[in-house]
């Protein structure tokens, strides 16, 4: 138990140390990175296996019992997200290695591998953290690595984007720390299970203020609508592997933190109405932004903002079905968003940029690329056989069950957003993938295929293909996934199993 809970963040830190030591040999750095992440994947799957029936595993670091020491907790939600995240992290690393092998990359491999592993450690620790302060530390580890990663291959645009990203990130961190201080002042503990027990007796208005504060803190990181402005400015500018992993994971870690704090600590009903309004605004504003963009990466970034709205919607319902829907959506969205950004990276490899103005006929340039774009795109839009459909149906069903006029408005907004997503996606499809390719695109392809980069390009394409396959797998495993999500959501709303695992005997 102790070992399983420690591996996901300690092994990447060890790996980061090792990759820092291996200065001269890029190959051994790559091997160290892949082995590390593969170990994390195995560990995460194992944890998922153990927790799938709703068991909660806890471990106290240093042997200090729960309310005092650092507690690591894995429940089905954490284990599921850990598994999906580690798989995506591994695949993106393989993609990056392909790019490096081919010499197609502009990243500095000296610092990329250690930082990437530190980021992994931060992401994994966020999922496993059992107390608020440890969650803060995990966020900081993740964010500090991300500040450095976003400036890989610095250009003027990237440095500018980093400024915005860093300032926004630090602001949310300060608010987070303030929130922790306030909670500690109120109940005298930072252990989440302990807070959950003790906050019950707190005055309602204080609870609501705290709930709102934490919603703002994680809302900034998750890019919910009034707080989303930084994301479309910073993510698309970074190099492919970085924007893929940021888009797929960082916002989702924040969504996970919202789920954890709102369900376990605050019981959720305090800010339900606010969250519904936020969800509606996020869906509509995000997708309207996506409709007017001209760059595929920017379109995807705005779509990302808009689809965060779906998750907030499910969470705002505060029912078992709603939260189960959010979990399915999270899994679907992590995989699909990473895939889309990897595909955009391949487009950039072929064309040199991702602006819709001068891309034509990508289908003729690379049929595989067209397929890799099409499958996740229709999944994002929520067209039937794909995972996006399963996720959206789960959310809308939960909404119908919950009822209430605002919920119906939310469902309406969700349907409208799905339709507009289809328009945004097909705008990209018709402009970039159809038509006759521009002549320089064909020569560029010929050069790529013949040049020394061919092996790297093949590896990148295969990795993207595997990622598309994972997306399809999410749809195929839809049934078990929904079952698992319901088990997890039930435990999350109840909170009993979590508290019992962390504080055996109900605490002091």
Partner 1 sequence: MADQHGPPVRGGPPEGWEAPRERWLSTVVRPAFGPRSVLLEVVARLLIPSILTFAVFLLVTGHDRPGGGFAAGLVAGMAYVLRYVAGGRQELAAGLPTRPQGLLAIGLLATAGTATAPLLWGDPILRTFSYTADLPVFGKVKFASYLLFELGVVFIVVGLVLAVVAALGARMEAEEEEARALSALRRRRRAPSGGAVEPRTDPGRPTTEGRNETP
Return residues touching partner 1 (CB under 8 A). 2-3, 5-6, 10, 13-14, 16-18, 20-21, 23, 59-63, 70, 72, 110, 114
The residue whose two tokens read 């955009």 is 344
Q: Which residues contact 253 (CB under 8 A, 6 or more apart)?
A: 123, 126, 127, 139, 142, 221
Residue closer to partner 1 (CB basis): 70 or 210? 70
Residue closer to partner 1 (CB basis): 2 or 430? 2
The residue whose two tokens read 């959010």 is 326
Q: How far apart are CA 440 and CA 89, in angstroms?
A: 34
Minimum separation from the CB atom of position 78 to partner 1 (A)? 17
Minimum separation from the CB atom of position 26 to partner 1 (A)? 15
CA distances from 8 to 75, 248, 261, 389, 413 (A): 14, 18, 22, 31, 38
Minimum separation from the CB atom of position 39 to partner 1 (A)? 12
Minimum separation from the CB atom of position 160 to partner 1 (A)? 18
Q: How far apart are CA 273 and CA 402, in angstroms?
A: 13
Judge whether 311 and 327 are in contact, CB under 8 Å: no
Residue closer to partner 1 (CB basis): 117 or 253? 117
The upper half-sphere exposure of residue 247, i.e. CA atoms within 13 Å in the direction of its Cβ, equals: 36
Residue closer to partner 1 (CB basis): 3 or 153? 3
Q: How far apart are CA 393 and CA 228, in angstroms?
A: 26
Residue 358 is classified by DSSP as G
- What is the radius of gyration, based on Cα positions, of the chain? 22
Minimum separation from the CB atom of position 5 to partner 1 (A)? 8
Query: Which string of DSSP letters, residue by residue, matches 83-128?
Result: HHHHHHHHHHHHHHHHHHHTT---S-HHHHHHHHHHHHHHHHHHHH
Minimum separation from the CB atom of position 6 to partner 1 (A)? 4
Minimum separation from the CB atom of position 151 to partner 1 (A)? 11
Sign of the CA dihedral running 302, 253, 402, 382: positive
Quick one: three-class SS letters along 219-261?
HHHHCCHHHCCCHHHHHHHCCHHHHHHHHHHHHHHHHHHHHHH
Minimum separation from the CB atom of position 34 to partner 1 (A)? 18
Residue closer to partner 1 (CB basis): 32 or 365? 32
Minimum separation from the CB atom of position 169 to partner 1 (A)? 18
Minimum separation from the CB atom of position 54 to partner 1 (A)? 23
Judge whether 110 and 90 are in contact, CB under 8 Å: no
Residue closer to partner 1 (CB basis): 59 or 354? 59
Residue closer to partner 1 (CB basis): 153 or 206? 153
Residue closer to partner 1 (CB basis): 18 or 265? 18
Query: Which string of DSSP letters, residue by residue, matches 39-79?
Result: HHHHHHHHHHHHHTTS--EEEEGGG--TTTS-EEEE-HHHH
Residue 84's nearest CA partner among 292, 327, 322 is 327
Sign of the CA dihedral running 180, 5, 337, 457: positive
Minimum separation from the CB atom of position 147 to partner 1 (A)? 13
The b/e string for 446-464 (b: 16+ C-beta within 10 A; e otherwise) is eebeeeebeebbebbbebb
Minimum separation from the CB atom of position 278 to partner 1 (A)? 37
Sign of the CA dihedral running 46, 47, 52, 53: positive
Residue closer to partner 1 (CB basis): 72 or 315? 72
Minimum separation from the CB atom of position 13 to partner 1 (A)? 4
Q: What is the largest CA-CA distance in the chain?
A: 73
Residue closer to partner 1 (CB basis): 11 or 420? 11
The residue whose two tokens read 């593969």 is 38
């Amino acid at each position: 138990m102790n070992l399983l809970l420690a591996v996901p963040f300690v092994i990447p830190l060890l790996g980061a140390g090792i990759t820092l030591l291996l200065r001269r040999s890029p190959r051994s750095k790559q091997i160290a990175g892949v082995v590390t992440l593969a170990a994390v994947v195995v560990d995460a799957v194992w944890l998922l296996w153990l927790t799938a029936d709703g068991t909660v595993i806890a471990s106290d670091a240093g042997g200090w019992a729960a309310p005092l020491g650092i507690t690591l907790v894995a429940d089905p939600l954490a284990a599921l997200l850990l598994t999906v995240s580690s798989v995506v992290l591994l695949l993106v690393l393989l993609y990056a290695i392909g790019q490096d092998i081919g010499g197609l990359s502009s990243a500095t491999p000296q610092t990329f591998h250690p930082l990437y592993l530190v980021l992994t450690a931060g992401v994994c620790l966020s999922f496993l953290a059992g107390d608020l302060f440890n969650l803060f530390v995990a966020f900081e580890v993740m964010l500090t690595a991300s500040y450095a990663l976003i400036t890989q291959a610095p250009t003027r645009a990237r440095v500018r984007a980093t400024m915005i990203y860093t300032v926004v990130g630090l602001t949310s961190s300060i608010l987070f720390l303030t929130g922790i201080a306030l909670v500690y002042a109120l109940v005298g503990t930072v252990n989440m299970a302990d807070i959950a027990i003790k906050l019950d007796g707190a005055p309602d208005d204080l609870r609501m203020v705290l709930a709102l504060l934490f919603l703002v803190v994680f809302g900034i990181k998750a890019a919910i609508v009034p707080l989303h402005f930084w994301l479309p400015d910073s993510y698309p500018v970074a190099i492919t592997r970085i924007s893929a992993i940021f888009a797929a994971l960082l916002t989702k870690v924040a969504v996970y933190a919202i789920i954890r704090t709102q369900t376990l600590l605050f019981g959720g009903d305090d800010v339900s109405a606010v969250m519904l309004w936020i969800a509606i605004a996020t869906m509509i504003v995000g997708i309207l932004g996506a409709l007017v963009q001209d760059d595929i990466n920017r379109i995807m970034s705005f779509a990302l903002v808009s689809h965060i709205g779906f998750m907030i919607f499910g969470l705002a319902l505060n029912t078992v079905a709603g939260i189960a829907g959010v979990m399915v959506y999270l899994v679907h969205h992590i995989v699909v968003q990473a895939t889309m950004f990897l595909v955009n990276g391949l487009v950039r490899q072929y064309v040199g940029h991702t602006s819709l103005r001068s891309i034509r006929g990508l289908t003729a340039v690379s049929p595989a690329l067209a397929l890799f774009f099409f499958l996740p795109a229709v999944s994002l839009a929520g067209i039937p056989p794909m995972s996006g459909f399963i996720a959206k149906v789960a959310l809308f069903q939960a909404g119908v069950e919950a009822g209430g006029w605002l919920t119906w408005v939310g469902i309406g907004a969700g349907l409208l957003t799905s339709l507009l997503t289809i328009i945004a996606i097909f705008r990209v499809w018709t402009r970039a993938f159809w038509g006759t390719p521009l002549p320089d695109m064909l020569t560029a392809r010929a050069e790529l295929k013949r040049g020394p980069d061919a092996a790297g390009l093949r590896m990148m394409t295969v990795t993207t293909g595997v990622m598309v396959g994972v997306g399809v797998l999410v749809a195929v495993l839809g049934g078990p996934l929904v079952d698992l999500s319901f088990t997890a959501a039930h435990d999350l709303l109840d909170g009993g199993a979590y508290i019992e695992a962390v504080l055996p005997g109900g605490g002091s």
